[in-house]
Amino acid sequence: MARKSILVVDDEKSQREILEMILSGEGYDVTTASSGEAAIKFVKERSFDLVLTDLKMTGMSGIELLQNVIALDSSTVVILWTGHGTIESAKEALRKGAFDYLEKVSDDREPLLQAIARALATRDSLDSDIVSASPKMDLVKRMILKVARSNSTVLIRGESGTGKELIARAIHNQSPPRLTEIFQAVNCAAINENLLESELFGHEKGSFTGAHAEKKGLFEVANKGTLFLDEIAELDVAMQAKLLRALQERKIRRVGGTHEISVDVRVIAATNRDLRAMVADGRFRDDLYYRINVLSVDVPPLRERRDDIPVLIRHFVRKHTRNTARLVKGLTTETEKLMIDYSWPGNVRQLESAIERAILLCEGDQITIDDLPLELRQESRPVSEGAFKLPPEGISFEDVERGLIMQAMEQTDYNITKSAKLLGLTFRTLQYRLEKFGIKRPEGKKEAAG
């Protein structure tokens, strides 16, 4: 995402001309407006990466323009630049969403250029955090920038392996009040439901057998920062009620505790399930659903953004050969084509696992088809003819996920450790999935060693 377009707003013509000359000389695409009202018209017509505005102007003030710009596109960065600054106006500007507030210094342009560079760098960091080339992921990135400005809860929806935790971390890193604080992630499906309450809210000494000392929960640990609740659909109804209260009251009570503790936590939840269907079935509380779904980000599966596959392949090849003796430079043409055509039911996680495996097995400087996992080599046809072909009436992701797990288990002779590595899952998460889908070793077949 190139972020170089700047809208300069000042009611003094000479100031506009000077700023346009300076910023154009730095390589930015500069548009100027003589008033807040004129600036709003530009913002409605096109997107700008940054708006640089004077504070005091005839008509709409800089503060009013700031509020209007953020209302139209909260991903746009706004910097106020004024010769009439006060501490009070600076505080008001920052409180209402300005990235920075600077005083005009006629003989020193460096503070302004540095502030602009910092502002645009926070946006450009998304390209490093989220490797992509597809228009669909550009929309996801823009949505990240929009929701990051808010303290409201966010729901990230997407299939397993699409990178929902990566999206959550990006939201945290783009939230100015919280990016310097802790990001704490917890997989709701990987923790025993009897222990999850203690994990989230903490417990007092002696509150239950084994509680030998006081323990802070993740809500307290992540205070002022971000708490990421992955696989939130796996919470039981009782735990859903307790989470709802914590989100509504912004207070928690430790297990065995008698007093409430105030917390300031940005909660981001994620799921690969259809929560609306679960609400209709009575398996998920509707009030909790509406509480966590204030803002939402939908992450498309890899099969719907094939433009990302080549850049992800190059990224993972670099990642898994860095600081190693491996001399792998890339893939053969037919291997890359096969990977682009593959359906990727396990999404980006499966792609990375396939590349890591291929690098370990590769005997030359290029990955060949023979180096790829069995499921890719078996599906050497276009997606429409592949093993995971979607019938006209559609198929649930759970069916696809179950099929992928079955393939991995069969390929590893039902070795859970090896299957988990192949799928890019933790041992405990795969154990949970096996129980969830009722997948067991066939009678008479022993688990493979190792």
DSSP string, 316-338: HHHHHHTTSS----EE-HHHHHH
Burial class (CB in 10 A: 0-12, 13-18, 19+), 370: exposed
- Helix (H) or strand (E) holding 126, with range, is helix 110-129
pLDDT of residue 24: 92
State the distance between the two ends of the chain, measured CA to CA, in whole angstroms. Answer: 44
pLDDT of residue 440: 83
Phi first, then psi, for residue 296 (nearest 5°) are -140, 150
> Which token pair is 441?
């070793």
Span 303-388 CATH architecture:
Orthogonal Bundle (1.10)
CATH code of the domain made up of 390-450: 1.10.10.60
Q: How many whole angstroms separate alpha carbon 59 and alpha carbon 174?
A: 32
Task: Look at residues 240, 293, 299, 241 and name the one whose alpha carbon lies nearest to residue 267.
Answer: 293
Q: What is the pTM of this model?
A: 0.71
Q: How many whole angstroms separate alpha carbon 97 and alpha carbon 93?
A: 6
CATH code of the domain made up of 5-124: 3.40.50.2300
Q: How many whole angstroms separate alpha carbon 434 and alpha carbon 27?
A: 55
CATH code of the domain made up of 130-298: 3.40.50.300
- Tokens 């000042």 belong to which residue? 10
- Strands 366-367 vs 330-331: parallel, antiparallel or unpaired: parallel
Q: Which residues of the chain have pLDDT under 70?
A: 1-3, 85, 105-107, 379-398, 443-450
pLDDT of residue 396: 58
Domain with CATH 1.10.10.60 in the chain: 390-450
> Which token pair is 423?
């799928």
Domain with CATH 3.40.50.300 in the chain: 130-298
Q: How many whole angstroms separate alpha carbon 423 and alpha carbon 46?
A: 42
pLDDT of residue 324: 80
Q: How many whole angstroms separate alpha carbon 220 and alpha carbon 382?
A: 50
Order across the sheet with 50-53: list the strands: 29-33, 5-9, 50-53, 77-82, 100-103
36-45 vs 62-72: helix crossing angle, rounded to 10: 10
Q: How many whole angstroms separate alpha carbon 328 and alpha carbon 276?
A: 45
Task: Look at residues 283, 421, 292 and name the one whose alpha carbon lies nearest to residue 349.
Answer: 421
Domain with CATH 1.10.8.60 in the chain: 303-388
Domain with CATH 3.40.50.2300 in the chain: 5-124
Q: How many whole angstroms separate alpha carbon 348 and alpha carbon 147?
A: 23
